[in-house]
Amino acid sequence: MDSKDDHHSNVATYPVNDDGGHHAMDELDPTGVVVKPKWRGTSLDKLDMEVLGRNQVLRAGLLSVGFIVGTIIQGLIILNNPTYVFERWHGTLLVWAITAFCVIFNTVLAKRLPAVEGIVLTIHIMGLFAVIVPLWVLAPRATASEALLTFTNGGGWPTTGLSAMIGLLTPMGSLLGFDCAVHMSEEVEDASRTLPRSIMWSVYLNGSMGLIMAITMCYCLGDLEEVVQTDTGYPFIQVFFNVTKSHAATNIMTAIMIITLTACCISEVATSSRQLWSFARDKGIPFSDWFAYVSPTMHIPLRAVLVSMSITCTVSLINIGSTAALNAIVSLGVVSLISSYYITIACLIWRRLKGEPLPQRRWSLGRYGLVVNIISLLFLTPIWFFAFWPLSTPVEASSMNWAVVMYCGVIAWSLVYYSIWGKHSYVGPVTVVKRDL
């Protein structure tokens, strides 16, 4: 279990707001004063949604998940039809289709989401056994030494340790996003209690299932060179086929992955649209009034949902020209998320060390809070640093990780925007709460 997820649970119990990490940072800012607003802690109606604030940028998670689903589908097509020619624009069209599908669930079928999520949860849990049992029964076993103690430097770096640190960016994706639930807090009953419990239970459940799946794959991987060089583009698809020797079984096992990832994409549409909407509500972006609109019939930030879809579809066009450029944008999303975690946790540590009071909360790490926060920063620091590195050497323009350039560019643009326009219009979430309540 990642210690930063304990931090998310702790922050989630602060005054209920879709702002998530930014709202907590606003309250914990070392230069500011802790505001103690009164909160109902219940589900909020349309009127409440229009006055409560939040400040965080739209993330690249929706694009990355949609891209993964689309290319997995392409991988299945290749497995079942060897004559199929893999084209990047096919993947882009699949991203569009998946995003549109998820937007429909977040608009027209929004009231059905709880039922759908319950079904997906069942598929998620039962699907684990549908995948690992055939692997346990049919796959040849590697020895414990081969599975757990053999390390491969596939990036051409001077040492295996350096290669491992750089390769952490990929598994880090599974440790991100537990805070997504926080961005739906204003639409959750008794959020200050429900959210932290949901976050922690998701960590316990998914952490345990992920560990089981990871160990299973290590023992059942087979020929590493073969699965890595698979034409499908996804080693796990090749592993499923090598083990089962059946196209039908491989299709079913992979379909479980596609369904759960698509459900993740549906959630990403919801959380990214709330992020954009709530940031606009705080006057933090251009044309804030337009973005902050809430549909009086659907009771959702419809414009923010549609803009999230439009941005995803537009950025996915980059894949047609260069997959490396698209991967840089996805990497930027991961680094940006880590940065937001880092800033929030650092502010919390600052207040704890100074002995200043923390916001009122209904769930706490207690006396272990400071230790957990410090461990979180120590864990995040090397990962943030190596997230900017290219995956392999020698480094060329096509293999370079351009996330560092985009990261600095976004920060520079944000500083310029805030200095010239933003500081004259932006209203922080705590200020809004204090003024309106």
pLDDT of 258 higher than 90: yes
More confident site: 19 or 375: 375
More confident site: 362 or 372: 372
Please give the pLDDT value at position 127: 92
- The CA-atom distances, in angstroms, between 42 and each of 16, 45, 67, 188 are 9, 10, 36, 7
More confident site: 245 or 363: 245
Q: Which of 55-59, 66-70, 113-117, 248-252 has the highest mean pLDDT?
A: 248-252
Please give the pLDDT value at position 15: 47
CB 27 within 8 Å of CB 53: no
More confident site: 327 or 430: 327
Look over the chain and give the mean of its residue pLDDT values, rounded to a whole number: 79
pLDDT of 374 higher than 50: yes
More confident site: 340 or 54: 340
Calculate what percentage of the chain has a pLDDT beyond 70.
84
The CA distance from 36 to 42, in Å, is 17
What is the per-residue DSSP string for 356-408?
PPPPP-S---GGGHHHHHHHHHHHHHHHHHHTTS-SSSS--TTT--THHHHHH
pTM above 0.85, yes or no: no
Name the nearest CA neighbour of 386 among 321, 319, 338, 315.
338
pLDDT of 436 higher than 60: no
More confident site: 169 or 222: 222
Mean pLDDT for the stretch of residues 4-22: 49
